[in-house]
């Protein structure tokens, strides 16, 4: 019985920060960064975090919410989990409309977290039938004028594990756990502290990684020369190529780290690059995926014939073309919490969430599940006991009717500059859903002039409000255009 990867997906936020804009803004202070002024880094919008990006990647892998009830376990890997306590993976499970009897866990603590989750997912898939979802995301905070600010990107990836229709079987894996502190962050702090780069490179990566990779290869019974794709996410220049050489892996197997288009997306970056590789991998090809952090982990995979039958939804390539260039460095700093803007009197509104209400309506709020009347067919959001059907209100006739994967069209809209909003002007409008139902909802990832009546939109899971007073976030769904304008059109 082969056990391994049965699906993959990715997510890259639409905003792509122009690195030159960052370097120019900081040139007075950090002229040494000018060598990094190339390309773009992916940048989470204000309403994105590791939970929302993980959901987006998972939906990319699953083809939407899990309406067939395939997934029986969800593992979320991240070092930037929004909640230190409140199971982040459970929010992901709710957003994916998973069956309630689904196992969920957060994996964190090092840049190897996604591969730790990989190992856990594999073991789980081996133990019982069904699909195990591993999703990884990071939305890292960095200090202004730091190298990390330019090197990093935001993004997520997801893998499905199971026993049927395996597209890449796992041949072997290895793990090394040592307290090598290339960077650290105490609980409650928001930005990492970094060790000396030369030490990390020479004593850390160069010593730890080859051991682990060789061990994984030998566990797999695969020769290094046979590796077709070598994935090692790193911000250290040419480190991936040097590592391949040290392990005897052919130079041409080294997978481009997407530094120019995305940046290093942290915990999920290995999975993101794997998702990219799998988009065009050939049956029989061997892939090595390795990551470094408080030790190291490596896995060896072999692509199967089933890869031909897997339909990539957007995938990394699709998300790469959905970018929009962001030229505002202060927007980036603001969204990363490094710059405090005047919010105005409207920004003082209390955003306290009634937790009892949030729980009672979790299917509607987190899962975007409406109620469809089995008599009239009318779709109700939010669901209610009585239908709105004119002159024929029916009692208790509504069945669950998920809307998240249905396309919508804009009935009416406006964009206002009055409310306190992190991406003005604030766009919202009425969306009519394919198959019925209507919600007055917010738009996200839109620029001025992009929203029109009859525009086709899709649903994305995002942060609805942030309660700064109590330190809480609430999530809901927003509308975003299905088709986006030409890539890299700047945000007005």
Partner 1 sequence: MPIGIKDKVAILGMGCCRFGERWDASPEDLMVEAYSEAMADAGISPEQIDAAWFSTHMEDVGTGRGGTPMSIALRLPNIGVTRVENFCAGGSEAIRAAVYAVASGACDIALALGVEKLKDTGYGGLPVATVGTYIPQWYPGAVAPANFAQLASAYQARFNVDPQLLKRAIAHVSVKSHANGAKNPKAHLRKIITEEQCLKAPIIAEPLGLFDCCGVSDGAAAVIVTRPDIARAMGKTDLVTFKALQVAVSNGWEMQGNGWDGSYVHTTRIAARKAYAEAGITRPREQISLTEVHDCFSITELVTMEDLFLSEPGMAVRDVLDGAFDAEGRVPCQIDGGLKCFGHPVGASGIRMLYEIYLQLKGRAGPRQLPDPRTGLIHNLGGQPSQNVCSISIIGREED
CA–CA distance, 259 with 481 (Å, rounded to integer): 27
CA atoms within 13 A on the CB side of 418: 4
Tell whether residue 70 is a contact of partner 1 (CB under 8 A): no
| Residue number, 85 or 348, with CB nearest to partner 1 | 348
Judge whether 145 and 253 are in contact, CB under 8 Å.
no
DSSP code string of 134-160: EEEEE-----TT-HHHHHB--EEEEEE
CA atoms within 13 A on the CB side of 35: 4
CA–CA distance, 303 with 4 (Å, rounded to integer): 10
Shortest distance, position 330 Cβ to partner 1, whole Å: 22
Residue among 79, 80, 128 at smallest CA distance from 108: 79
Shortest distance, position 481 Cβ to partner 1, whole Å: 15
Residue among 124, 141, 142 at smallest CA distance from 133: 124
CA–CA distance, 258 with 152 (Å, rounded to integer): 11
> Among 177, 330, 357, 488, which residue sits at the site for partner 1 (rule: CB under 8 A)?
357
Structure tokens at 290: 């390795």
> Among 260, 411, 469, 482, which residue sits at the site for partner 1 (rule: CB under 8 A)?
411
Residues 370 to 389 in contact with partner 1, rule: CB under 8 A: 378-382, 384, 388
Tell whether residue 197 is a contact of partner 1 (CB under 8 A): no
| Rama region for 334: left / alpha / beta (φ>0; ψ in -120 to 50; rest) | alpha
Tell whether residue 390 is a contact of partner 1 (CB under 8 A): yes
Judge whether 446 and 489 are in contact, CB under 8 Å.
no
Shortest distance, position 468 Cβ to partner 1, whole Å: 14
> Among 358, 407, 422, 466, which residue sits at the site for partner 1 (rule: CB under 8 A)?
358
How many residues form the binding site for partner 1 (CB under 8 A)?
51
Judge whether 255 and 290 are in contact, CB under 8 Å.
no
Distances (CA, A) of 441 to 53, 355, 480: 20, 21, 10
| Residue number, 287 or 460, with CB nearest to partner 1 | 460
Tell whether residue 421 is a contact of partner 1 (CB under 8 A): yes
**Which one of 134-142, 199-207, 232-240, 341-349 is the stretch in contact with partner 1 (CB under 8 A)?**
341-349
Shortest distance, position 68 Cβ to partner 1, whole Å: 26
Q: x/- string (CB under 8 A) for partner 1, residues 6-35?
A: ------------------------------
**Which one of 44-52, 197-205, 469-477, 480-488 is the stretch in contact with partner 1 (CB under 8 A)?**
469-477
**Residue 346 DSSP code:** G
Tell whether residue 215 is a contact of partner 1 (CB under 8 A): no
Tell whether residue 407 is a contact of partner 1 (CB under 8 A): no
Tell whether residue 127 is a contact of partner 1 (CB under 8 A): no
| Residue number, 201 or 474, with CB nearest to partner 1 | 474
DSSP code string of 222-242: --GGGEEEEE---SSTTHHHH
Report helix, strand or coil for 372: strand
Tell whether residue 395 is a contact of partner 1 (CB under 8 A): no
Opening angle at CA 155, ends 450 and 314, nearest 5: 60
> Among 292, 335, 413, 461, which residue sits at the site for partner 1 (rule: CB under 8 A)?
413
Tell whether residue 474 is a contact of partner 1 (CB under 8 A): yes
| Residue number, 64 or 383, with CB nearest to partner 1 | 383
| Residue number, 319 or 477, with CB nearest to partner 1 | 477
Residues 422 to 461 in contact with partner 1, rule: CB under 8 A: 425-426, 428-430, 432, 436-442, 453-454
| Rama region for 421: left / alpha / beta (φ>0; ψ in -120 to 50; rest) | beta
Q: Which residues bind partner 1 (CB under 8 A)?
A: 345-346, 349-354, 357-358, 361, 364-365, 378-382, 384, 388, 390, 411-419, 421, 425-426, 428-430, 432, 436-442, 453-454, 464-465, 474, 476-477
């Amino acid at each position: 019985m082969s056990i391994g990867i049965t699906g993959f997906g990715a997510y890259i936020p639409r905003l792509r920060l122009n690195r030159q804009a960052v370097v120019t803004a900081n040139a007075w202070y950090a002229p040494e960064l000018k060598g990094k002024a190339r390309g773009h880094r992916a940048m989470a919008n204000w309403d994105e975090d590791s939970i929302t990006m993980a959901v987006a990647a998972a939906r990319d892998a699953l083809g939407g919410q899990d309406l067939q009830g395939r997934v029986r376990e969800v593992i979320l890997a991240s070092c930037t989990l929004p909640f230190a306590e409140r199971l982040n993976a459970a929010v992901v499970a709710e957003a994916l409309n998973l069956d309630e009897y689904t196992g969920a866990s957060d994996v964190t603590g090092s840049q190897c977290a996604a591969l730790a989750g990989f190992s856990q997912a594999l073991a789980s898939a081996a133990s019982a039938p069904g699909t195990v979802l591993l999703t990884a995301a990071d939305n890292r905070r960095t200090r202004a004028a730091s190298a990390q600010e330019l090197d990093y990107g935001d993004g997520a990836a997801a893998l499905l594990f199971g026993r049927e229709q395996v597209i890449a079987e796992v041949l072997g894996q290895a793990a090394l756990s040592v307290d090598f502190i290339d960077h650290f962050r105490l609980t409650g702090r928001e930005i990492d502290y970094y060790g000396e780069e030369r030490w990390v490179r020479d004593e850390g990566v160069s010593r730890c990684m080859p051991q682990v990779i060789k061990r994984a290869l030998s566990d797999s019974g695969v020769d290094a020369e046979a590796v077709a794709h070598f994935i090692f996410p790193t911000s250290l220049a040419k480190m991936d190529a040097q590592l391949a050489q040290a392990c005897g892996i052919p130079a041409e197997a080294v997978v481009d780290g997407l530094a120019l288009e995305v940046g290093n997306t942290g915990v999920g970056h290995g999975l993101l690059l794997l998702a990219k590789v799998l988009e065009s991998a050939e049956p029989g090809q061997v892939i090595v995926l390795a990551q470094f952090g408080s030790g190291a982990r490596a896995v060896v995979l072999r692509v199967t014939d089933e890869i031909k039958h897997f339909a990539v939804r957007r995938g990394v390539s699709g998300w790469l073309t959905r970018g929009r260039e962001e030229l505002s460095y202060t927007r980036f700093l603001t969204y990363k919490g490094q710059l405090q803007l005047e919010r105005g009197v409207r920004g003082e509104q209390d955003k306290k969430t009634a937790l009892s209400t949030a729980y009672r309506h979790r299917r509607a709020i987190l899962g975007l599940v409406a109620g469809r009347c089995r008599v009239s067919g009318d779709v109700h959001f939010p669901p209610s006991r009585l239908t709105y059907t004119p002159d024929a209100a029916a009692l208790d006739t509504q069945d669950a009717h998920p809307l998240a994967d249905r396309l919508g069209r804009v009935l009416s809209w406006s964009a206002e500059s009055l409310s306190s909003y992190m991406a003005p002007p604030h766009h919202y409008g009425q969306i009519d859903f394919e198959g019925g139902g209507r919600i007055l909802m917010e738009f996200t990832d839109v620029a001025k002039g992009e929203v029109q009546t009859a525009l086709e939109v899709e649903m994305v899971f995002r942060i609805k409000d942030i309660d700064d007073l109590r330190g809480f976030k609430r999530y809901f769904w927003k509308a975003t255009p299905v088709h986006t304008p030409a890539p890299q059109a700047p945000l007005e």
